[in-house]
């Protein structure tokens, strides 16, 4: 295996934010206009969505089935197949704890084993959103039934789908959610090659 990605990342020296205007402040994200200076001395304005981050869970059972959700998404006006996921919106909550909470709330499940699967920068052209996808195994039903689903989550469907069917869904365009695609393909790679290294659940959050 090549050690190509062990090389240091390129320095961002010469790139700087020289001006910032807050355009909108919302519950989930804010919109800012920033003036960016570049190493050649030029500058440009970029409108960006600032987001607190998210977690998603690739919950794999002992029959090689992934827990998938079918949820209506108003932004695209249709139902999408997704992994259990949610915002990092509880102050001071460790990311893996946010993932544990979301798995209980959205799928009614707990997991005995947690590992960091992959990290995703979902839309770097206009947003700083970062998401971590965890691999959760040793699944069991949760006794916590206190969470009440509302709005578009009220009729959300939870299904366990064979991993190979999920991969097929990605490749045929049936699964288009970016975190679901990343999680499905990463789990598939891990199952094919269990020696593929995974980071611990408490691995440092990406900078």
Q: Would you name the residues annotated as active-site residues?
A: 153
DSSP state of 89: -
Report CA-CA distances (Å) from 181 to 127, 187, 189: 19, 10, 12
Report CA-CA distances (Å) from 98 to 7, 78, 128: 31, 26, 19
Report the chain's terminal Cα–Cα distance, integer Å.
Answer: 26
CB atoms within 10 A of CB 23: 10
Tell me how far apart the alpha carbons of residues 120 and 170 are, in angstroms, rounded to a whole number. 17
Cα 203–chain centre separation: 15
Pairing state of beta strands 65-73 and 157-162? antiparallel
Report CA-CA distances (Å) from 205 to 10, 38, 64, 88, 198: 19, 27, 28, 12, 14
């Amino acid at each position: 295996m090549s050690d190509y990605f062990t090389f240091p990342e390129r320095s961002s020296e010469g790139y700087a934010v020289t001006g910032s205007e807050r355009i909108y402040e919302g519950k989930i994200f804010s919109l800012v206009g920033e003036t960016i200076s570049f190493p050649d001395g030029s500058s440009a304005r970029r409108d960006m969505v600032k987001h607190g981050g998210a977690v998603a869970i690739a919950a794999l059972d002992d029959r090689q089935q992934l827990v998938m959700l079918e949820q209506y998404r108003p932004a695209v006006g249709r139902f999408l197949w997704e992994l259990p996921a949610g915002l990092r919106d509880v102050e001071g909550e460790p990311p893996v704890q946010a993932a544990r909470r979301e798995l209980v709330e959205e799928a009614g499940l707990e997991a005995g084993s947690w590992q960091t699967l992959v990290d995703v920068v979902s839309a770097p052209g206009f947003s700083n959103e970062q998401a971590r996808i965890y691999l959760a195994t040793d699944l069991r039903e949760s006794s916590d039934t206190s969470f009440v689903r509302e709005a578009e989550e009220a009729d959300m469907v939870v299904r366990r789908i064979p991993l190979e069917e999920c991969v097929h869904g990605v490749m045929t365009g049936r699964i288009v959610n970016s975190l679901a695609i990343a999680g499905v393909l990463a789990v598939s790679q891990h199952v094919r090659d269990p020696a593929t290294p995974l980071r611990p659940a408490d691995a440092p959050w990406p900078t």
